[in-house]
C-alpha cells in the first residue's frame, strides 16, 4: 500500500473514531498542549508582539516538527503510518464534541432551562451570556456551530489531506493558541497578535472550502454563494465571515448582530435574509454541520490519495 493511500485511510479512520467516540475523555493531547502553552506563557509573556511571535513560533514550530518526525519514521511502514494518521486525525477533530454541545444546548432551550443554557454556552463560545434569552442563545449556538465546523473539522481535515500528520498537528496547535491568547483584550492585544494572524492565514482556504461545502450539502448552493459573497465582508473576521454567511444562506436565516464578550463588544454585521434563529434551528444547523464534515472528509481523503509525499 502506498504512503498516499495510508494517509487517506488514516484520515477516514480518524474521522470515524471522532464520529463514534468524540474527544478522548482523559489525557487529551490538545489539553496537554494547552497546559504546556500556559506554562510557557508565564515565562515569556510581555505586552509585546515580538514576545508573542516567539511564543507562537516555539509552540507551533515544535508541534510541526513532531508531526514531521512521525511522518518520516512511519513512511515505510503502512500499518504504522495509517495508525499514526488516524490517531492524529482523531486527536485534532472536534466535530462530534461540537455536535454534542449543540444537542445539549437544544435540549436545555427546548426544556426552557434558560439559566442552564446560559451556563452551557461557554462550552461553545466566549460571549457574555448573562442577559441572553432563548432566541439570542439560539443565535449564539448556531453561529458557533457554523464557525467551529470550519475550525474544528474542515480546516484540520484539509491540512491533513495536504500535508499529513504535520498539517493536522500544527493546525490544531495554531488554532488552540488563537483561542487562548488571540482575542481582543488589554492583556493579549499585542502578545496574542501573532497567534491570531497565523490562525487567520491557516484558515483562509479551509473557511472558503467550508462555505462552498455548506452550499453543496444544504441543497441551496446558489443562495448560499449569493449571501456569502454579499454579506461576508460585513463580518470583522476574514474567515468566520464566509462560513457564517454561508450557513445563513444555506439555512435561510439571518445571523450576525452585536455580541458582548465581556471585555469588548463586537458588531458582526447582518448576514442573510431570513428570520433570526430560533431554538429548532440549532438541530438543523448541527445536521448540516455533520454533512459538511462528511464531505470535507471525502475531499481530504481524495487529496491525500492524489498527493505524493511531502
Sequence-ordered strand ranges (E) for the chain: 255-260, 265-271
Ramachandran class of 138: left when φ > 0, alpha when ψ lies in -120 to 50, beta otherwise: alpha
What pLDDT score was predicted for residue 262? 78
pLDDT bucket at 23, cuts 50 / 70 / 90: confident
Residue 2 has pLDDT above 80, yes or no: no
pLDDT bucket at 307, cuts 50 / 70 / 90: low
pLDDT in tens, 124-149: 998 989 999 999 999 999 999 999 99
Rounded distance between C-alpha atoms, residue 160 and residue 192, angstroms: 25
- The label of the residue with cell 426552557 reads 112
Rounded distance between C-alpha atoms, residue 186 and residue 140, angstroms: 24
Residue 80 has pLDDT above 60, yes or no: yes
Rounded distance between C-alpha atoms, residue 287 and residue 197, angstroms: 31
pLDDT in tens, 180-194: 999 888 999 999 999
Radius of gyration of the chain (CA): 19
DSSP 86-145: HHHHHHH--HHHHHHHHHHHHHHHHTT-HHHHHHHGGGT-----TT--HHHHHHHHHHHH
CB 156 within 8 A of CB 171: yes
Amino acid at each position: 500500500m502506498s504512503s498516499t493511500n495510508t494517509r487517506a485511510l488514516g484520515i477516514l479512520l480518524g474521522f470515524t473514531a471522532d464520529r463514534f467516540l468524540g474527544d478522548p475523555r482523559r489525557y487529551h493531547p490538545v489539553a496537554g498542549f494547552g497546559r504546556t502553552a500556559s506554562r510557557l506563557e508565564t515565562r515569556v509573556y510581555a505586552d509585546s508582539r515580538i514576545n508573542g511571535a516567539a511564543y507562537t513560533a516555539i509552540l507551533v514550530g515544535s508541534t510541526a516538527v513532531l508531526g514531521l518526525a512521525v511522518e518520516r519514521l512511519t513512511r515505510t511502514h503502512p500499518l504504522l503510518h495509517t495508525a499514526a494518521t488516524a490517531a492524529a486525525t482523531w486527536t485534532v477533530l472536534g466535530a462530534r464534541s461540537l455536535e454534542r454541545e449543540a444537542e445539549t444546548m437544544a435540549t436545555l432551550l427546548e426544556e426552557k432551562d434558560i439559566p442552564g443554557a446560559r451556563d452551557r454556552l461557554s462550552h461553545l463560545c466566549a460571549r457574555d451570556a448573562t442577559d441572553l434569552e432563548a432566541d439570542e442563545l439560539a443565535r449564539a449556538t448556531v453561529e458557533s456551530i457554523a464557525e467551529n465546523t470550519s475550525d474544528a473539522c474542515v480546516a484540520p481535515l484539509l491540512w491533513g489531506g495536504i500535508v499529513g500528520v504535520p498539517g493536522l498537528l500544527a493546525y490544531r496547535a495554531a488554532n488552540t493558541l488563537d483561542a487562548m491568547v488571540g482575542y481582543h483584550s488589554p492583556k493579549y492585544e499585542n502578545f496574542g497578535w501573532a497567534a491570531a494572524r497565523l490562525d487567520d492565514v491557516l484558515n483562509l482556504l479551509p473557511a472558503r472550502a467550508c462555505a462552498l461545502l455548506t452550499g453543496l450539502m444544504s441543497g441551496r448552493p446558489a443562495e448560499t454563494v449569493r449571501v456569502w459573497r454579499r454579506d461576508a465582508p460585513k463580518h470583522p473576521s476574514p474567515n468566520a465571515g464566509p462560513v457564517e454567511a454561508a450557513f445563513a444562506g444555506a439555512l435561510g436565516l439571518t445571523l450576525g448582530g452585536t455580541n458582548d464578550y465581556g471585555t469588548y463588544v463586537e458588531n458582526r454585521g447582518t448576514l442573510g435574509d431570513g428570520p433570526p434563529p430560533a431554538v429548532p434551528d440549532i438541530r438543523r444547523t448541527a445536521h448540516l454541520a455533520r454533512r459538511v464534515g462528511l464531505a470535507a472528509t471525502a475531499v481530504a481523503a481524495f487529496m491525500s490519495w492524489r498527493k505524493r509525499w511531502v
